[in-house]
Structure 1
Amino acid sequence: MASVLLPIAKGFEELEAVGLIDVMRRGGIEVRVAYLEDELQGNLVLGANGITIQADTSIKNIISDDFDMMVLPGGWDGTYALAENTRIIELLQEFKATKVVGAMCAAPFVLKKAGVLGNDYTCYPGAKDEIGHPGYRDDMKVVTDGNVMTSQGPGTAVCFGLSIVERLVGKESMQAVKDGMLLEYC
């Protein structure tokens, strides 16, 4: 079974995190949600819009060999916290070497800071200047550049999740999830 690590920090974008987790789990992917060890409420992480998510484990307990991919939801406060976390940066570099990394909305900022952002990428349009990396694409909901996947924002979370399912589990599983969710637009 494919497995994905999804770290979150205070101020993460809830729709992106939950959309990704839901779609990936429907596709048969084991998703582990990790919180930063400096979260005041432990494994309860407060999102940008006041919704609290219970994470599975601390980022300090994560071993990259246990996962096939690491994907980051956006939300500026959460993105900045992830970008300042040494373990997140180390994990992204480990994953990029042999696995898949992904980020959406503002979170490609973290990929850039870790030195793993691909040549072509997408993000939330308002984040592209802060990311400041050439190769920004606004013509696709999901951009794949080798083993780096990026997506635009809350409205593209389901499409991004489907792209991850297709990459890790296969087109047939992705299509089954898409059909089961009555999705026409991805």
Structure 2
Amino acid sequence: MGIEFLTKKSILLILPAQDFNEQEYLIISSQLQRANIKIFIASDANTVCKGASSLKVKNDVSLYNIHESNFGGIIFIGGNGVKRYWTNKSLHNVARKFFAAKKIIGAICSAPIILAKAGLIKQKATCFVEDKNELEKEGIEYIDTPVYIDTNKIVTAQSPTNAAEFVSTFIHLLNN
């Protein structure tokens, strides 16, 4: 088992410190684990991230200690809390590093706006329908579809109801 194989089998999940979407997190993390992919949680939370209904998830990595070479890809989890990260320059830089390293990038719900504002999504994407205007402000065409893959292997999804399809698509791209 080479280093590349082990790296490919590790995914970084970015969680807002507060108000992340618990359904998205639980579906995505459990499907990744079932696929024998190790997950690491990164956030700006000091120790634990708190979901919208008070689920607590331990933070493994600080946003400032992320090395894209350690992971096969990155997923930004949505929820109301992620809106506070739309203009977060540190997160934009993290996303750009994964993009430059040609890693698989995923964002669900309100999180695709981070990728749009980081300049990674160039033409089309999907997101939570209520955030459609934010996407369009960045010059991105909103696609009304549950899951969308752009030409740069960036996967976006609309909502928690699309989390299973989203993570299946992400895993498929990761394995190919």
Query: Shared fold (TM-score greater than 0.5)?
Result: yes
Q: CA deviation at 1:43?
A: 2.1
Q: CA deviation at 1:87?
A: 2.3
CA distance in 1, matches of 2:134, 2:28: 24
Structure 2: segments with no counterpart, 5+ residues:
1-5
Counterpart for residue 149 of structure 2: 144
Identity %: 27
1:34-91 Cα distance to aligned partner (Å, 9 max, x none): 121xx3xx221111222222222222221111112111011132x2333343321111
Q: Give the number of equivalent residue pairs.
A: 164
Counterpart residue type for residue 149 of structure 1: V
Q: CA RMSD in A?
A: 1.6
CA distance in 2, matches of 1:60, 1:22: 26
Aligned structure 1 segments of 4 or more residues deviating by more than 6 angstroms? none
1:96-148 Cα distance to aligned partner (Å, 9 max, x none): 1222211111111101111112422111111101222432111x321100221
Q: What TM-score results when the alignment is normalised by the length of structure 1?
A: 0.81
Q: In the alignment, which of 110, 114, 119 is matched to residue 118 of structure 2?
A: 114
Structure 1: segments with no counterpart, 5+ residues:
171-186
Contact 1:29 1:169 in 2 (8 A): no
Contact 1:43 1:57 in 2 (8 A): no
- Identify the structure with the greater strand proportion: 2
